[in-house]
Amino acid sequence: MDKKGPYMIKDIKKMGQGVQVWGKFLITEKNSRKTKDGREVINLKISDSSGEIDVVVWENCQIGGSIETGKVIGILGDTGSYNNRIQLTAKKLKVLDEDPAPYLRTPAVSIDNLKNKFDNIINTVQDIYLKELLALVFTGETREKFFKAPAARKIHHNYAGGLLEHTVRVAELCLEASRIYPQLNRDLLITGALLHDIGKMKEYEIKVLPEYTVSGRLIGHIVLGHQMVEEALRLLEQKRPDMPEELKNMIKHMILSHHGNLEYGSPVKPLFPEAMLLHMMDNLDAKMYVFINKIDEEEEGEGFFTSYDPFFEQYFFKYRY
């Protein structure tokens, strides 16, 4: 059956099945392989600011330029379905000399809005030690780098401003939980929420897409964050030598334990209520991001279920009532 089109696509999320399309997108992932019968094939992930889609490039595709991650391409191809997910089979592909910025994902809320939320949350902290610790950490160059950093390379909030978005969301979840559990130390909980992923600003760097730094790959954000907070605590001690050692250790423990289990990268498990709640709210926001975005991106695909998600090792049910 002849495919309809070609149609120009400006929003990758709205790409339908069974049509020929063309548009400009960013290459976010590239894998080359050979099929069992010896044919060369390139599998790509391409994106715009609305989402991401899989592309298969066979030997008969007309290619102009060198296909590389982080490059903008113009592409003509046919849409179909593979594993319950829309897939584009490329017919023509050309690498373009264009700024990738318009094709990158951004936070759902504007950066300025997130900055205001972040500052408002900090201003709710009343404990003098914790308030001054946050002021020491989030100042000058560190503050600006934090606002621009991604929260991950792939899984969740993996774009400039993603760390700020994730941190604000975790802090907001902790604020709500502190109203339900008044036994918790609210200021300690919020301080832990704001600091828990601080090491990610040293773990990743953004060229076009998030990449590991050398220290990020060798050490990881949990230890890097612990080091950053230890340094800030040493500075704070000069002004506040009476700050309880137990409080210092609780803050550091919340950073070290926020992944919950040893097999997920934390050297210790959460050992007090605020640390456990922080771990759960961090985990909740990361997982809800994946659920919501995967269902949203694959809304146009066939059937009631998304494609298989290797991180969760499951399919997601797409129907929304």
* CATH code where residue 129 lies: 1.10.3210
Indicate the residue among 75, 102, 129 that finishes a domain.
102
* CA dist., res. 179 & res. 150, Å (int): 29
**Does 23 or 65 have the greater pLDDT score?**
23
| Domain shared by 267 and 145, yes or no | yes
CATH number of the CATH domain containing 69: 2.40.50.140
Q: Name the residue type at position 179.
A: R
Mean pLDDT of 113-118: 96
- For residue 31, the model assigns a pLDDT of 87
Is residue 150 within 8 A of residue 160, CB to CB? The reply is: yes
Task: Note whether residue 233 is domain-resident.
Answer: yes
Residue 306 is classified by DSSP as: -
- Check residue 5 and give its pLDDT: 59
Clarify whether residues 28 and 159 are in a common domain.
no
Which H or E element spans position 22? Answer: strand 19-34
Residue 111 domain-assigned (yes or no) = yes
Domain co-membership, 168 together with 211: yes
Domain count, the chain: 2
CA 95 – CA 122 distance, rounded (Å): 45
Spatial neighbors of 285 by CB under 8 A, at least 6 apart, are 156, 166, 169, 170, 173
Which token pair is 30? 């590239």
- Total-model pTM: 0.86
Q: Is the pLDDT of residue 222 over 90?
A: yes
Residues 175 and 197 in one domain: yes
Residue numbers of the domain that contains 81: 4-102
| Helix/strand number for the chain, H first, E second | 10, 9
Contacts of 90 (CB under 8 A, 6+ apart): 44, 55, 56, 57, 58, 61, 75, 76, 77
Residue 24, token pair as written in the block = 């400009």
Q: In Å, how far from its chain's centre is CA 90?
A: 28
Same domain, 54 and 182: no
Residue 117 sits in the same domain as residue 167: yes
Domain assignment of residue 307, yes or no:
no
Give domain status of residue 312, yes or no: no
Is residue 319 domain-resident? Answer: no
Residues 185 and 213 in one domain: yes
Assess whether 68 and 181 both reside in one domain. no
Residues 97 and 188 in one domain: no
- Both 162 and 148 in a single domain? yes
Split at pLDDT 50, 70, 90, the class of 40 is: confident
Do 187 and 220 lie in one domain? The reply is yes
pLDDT digits (tens, 9 = 90+) for 129-167: 999 999 999 999 999 999 999 988 887 888 889 999 999
pLDDT reading at 22 higher than 90: no
pLDDT digits (tens, 9 = 90+) for 84-93: 778 889 888 8
Q: Residue 82 in 3-state DSSP?
A: strand
pLDDT of res. 53: 85
Q: Taking 80 as the threshold, does the pLDDT of residue 61 lie above it?
A: no
- pLDDT tens figures, 227-241: 999 999 999 999 999
- In whole angstroms, what is the distance from residue 318 CA to residue 251 CA? 39
| Domain final position from 102, 131, 149 | 102
Q: Is residue 135 part of a domain?
A: yes
Same domain, 278 and 177: yes
SS (H, E, C) 227-269: HHHHHHHHHHHHHCCCCCHHHHHHHHHHHHCCCCCHHHCCCCC
Using CA atoms, how far apart are residues 126 and 123, in angstroms rounded to an integer?
A: 8
In a domain, 300, yes or no: no
Do the domain assignments include residue 315?
no
Distance, C-alpha 160 to centroid of its chain: 9
Extract long-range pairs of 206-210: CB within 8 Å, 24+ residues apart.
Answer: 206/148, 206/149, 206/150, 206/160, 207/70, 208/26, 208/69, 208/70, 208/100, 208/104, 209/28, 209/69, 209/70, 209/104, 209/153, 209/158, 210/150, 210/152, 210/153, 210/158, 210/159
Start-to-end C-alpha separation, the chain: 34
